[in-house]
A and B are shown apart, each in its own frame.
Chain A
Amino acid sequence: MTALLRRYRFIVPYLLLTPGLIWLAIFYVYPSVQMFISSFWSGSLERGFTFSLSNVHNYTDALSRYQDQIVRSIFFAAAATVATFLISFPLAYTIAFRAGQYKNLLLFLVIAPFFTSFLLRVISWRTILGDDGLLLGPLKSAGLVGDDVRILATPVAVIAGIAYNFLPFMTLPIYVSLEKIDKRLLEAGQDLYATPWSAFRKITLPLALPGIFAGTLLTFIPAMGDYVNAELLGQTPGTKMIGNVVQSRFLVNNDYPTAAALSFILMAGILVAVAVYARLLGTEELVSSAG
């Protein structure tokens, strides 16, 4: 066996990769292809589905019928991404440069939300943002805001929920790229009479860009597909996102063709984003920066 392996050394990496890649081929690649095919189906679960290329109208139908939800998803995801960036950058900057002995503690606190259930965090936000919840309750009884002011069941609640859930995905990559910066570069900048602001703008910020870029993708992509926040914090038709439509078309209406077309529209948008990213940074960087 060992002698055989030595003889055919080139085969070893393939032996290591094959079992896992077969799993991914059967349960990731093939279902994706299958979903692409089912987006050209017509018919129903009871009567059976038939494939026809002329069913390409599934896509145009889905686009026009769910235009509002698609636009809303992009807007919610973008707003949440901007919010996470605004919160994350100063936080990551403090952890990387100013935290001293508290660095590890702060990093631990950033990932602490992951130690609780995702759904329980969303439910906690419902308690906090509720009409007489921890935030509005005291404000209302103090007379600072009117009795009819709501946060829950508004876009603000959904965006806040999404931003909260993906915050560590933004903070950690930015922290990693800030941490890597050679402090001597900043000293050199100061020696050359850069003001703190211009040193930040010309040295720190450009060097943090890979982290910002990774964080943006890691936040925006899952945010686009999220439906739990919209379901539990949005609650109204006016806050539904693509994910809610895909979920209900698939699991409630059994309308697989429309749902598959919508999923594929979502996926295509993401593939474009990833392709741009891979072009800019290379595939190796992609796999190593995502961790």
Chain B
Amino acid sequence: MTTAALESAVRSPGTPVQRIRRWLGHNALFVYTFAAIVYLMLPIVVMILFSFNRPAGKSNFAWREFSLNAWLNPFAPLGLSDAVIASLRIAFVSTIVATILGTLIGLGLTRYVFRGRAATNLIIFLPMATPEIVLGASLLTLFVSIGMARNELTILIAHIMFNISYVVVTIRARLAGFDRRLEEAAMDLGATEMVTFWKVTFPLIFPGILAAAMLAFSLSIDDFVITNFTAGSTVTLPMYIYGATRIGVPVQVNVIGTIIFGTAVGAVVLSTLLQRRDRAA
């Protein structure tokens, strides 16, 4: 693409200065885009690179030498495995609950006309528009004022709360192109409403539900700010990492970050390939 632009610029008429300017005019955008992508990737590359570091002291800030030590002992630092397990458990449970609650709202909003739509839309939107720190802080005031101890349960409550809105938005986007005639056809053929839902509607919206669940899971497992306010003494992975920044982040944290990154990228690549295969079939 770039070479084609270059050739046409060289062959085109005008003085050399005009040609160079035209070439830059054509390619400035690509140079800029390339720089932006490098900027986006840089911290990720650094994270992966430093998972192979053997730092001199506790802090993993300066490159010293290549080592597989952290990869071979990923859970060596005290408390890290507990933090990972707590994060996974919270992410699983909050994803399931938020996906059910959010899917029901998404179905209600896209398939029915009713009073109170605008208010419902607003209540769904507001938690996404509220800064995390305000969400966390207001939950903290609630828990303090009713004297509820903060632990894994309060983290779960918080994660389900902020995930509902994201699930609703994702489900709505997927339901927008839904062809209601498919359901009508099923009912014409004698299917009851329940049978129609489980045999026609649900399989069609399932990819949307899955996408919403994946989003909810990733938001939950990565949340630090709201968790920090609602955690009490429970330590999730982000809480562990944040705590470690004061005393030096162990290299193993980079290893786990790299594994999470690899898993997420793998899932996306896999689902893209599956979609392509479906389309080809």
Contact = CB atoms under 8 A, between A and B. Distances in A.
Interface of A: 2, 5, 10, 12-14, 16-17, 19-21, 23-25, 27-32, 34-35, 38, 45, 87, 90-91, 93-95, 98, 100, 104, 106, 108-110, 112-121, 123-128, 130, 132-134, 164, 167, 217, 221-222, 224-228, 232, 243, 246-247, 250-251, 256, 259-260, 263, 266-267, 270, 274, 278, 283-284, 286-288, 290-291
Contact of A167 (B40, B107, B193, B194): B40
B121 A35 contact: no
Interface in B197-252: 218, 222, 224-225, 228-229, 237-238, 241-242, 245, 249
Contacts of A110: 40
Contacts of A133: 61-62
Nearest to B26: A98
A108 B137 CA distance: 33
B131 A35 contact: no
A259 B131 contact: no
Contacts of A118: 222, 224, 238
Interface of B: 1, 29-30, 32-33, 36-37, 39-44, 46-47, 50, 60-62, 100-102, 104-105, 107-109, 111-112, 114, 118, 120-135, 137-142, 144-145, 157-158, 160-161, 164-166, 168-170, 172-173, 176, 192-194, 218, 222, 224-225, 228-229, 237-238, 241-242, 245, 249, 253-254, 257, 260-261, 264-265, 268, 272
Contacts of A266: 131, 133-134
B137 A35 contact: yes
A121 B47 contact: yes
Contact of A243 (B109, B131, B160): B131
Nearest to B44: A116
Contact of B112 (A13, A167, A290): A13
Contacts of A23: 101, 160-161, 164
Contacts, number: 257
29 contacts: A2-B194, A10-B114, A16-B112, A17-B120, A23-B164, A24-B124, A27-B139, A27-B158, A28-B123, A28-B161, A31-B138, A31-B139, A35-B137, A35-B141, A38-B141, A91-B33, A94-B32, A106-B37, A112-B44, A115-B261, A117-B241, A119-B224, A121-B44, A222-B132, A263-B138, A274-B125, A286-B122, A287-B125, A287-B169
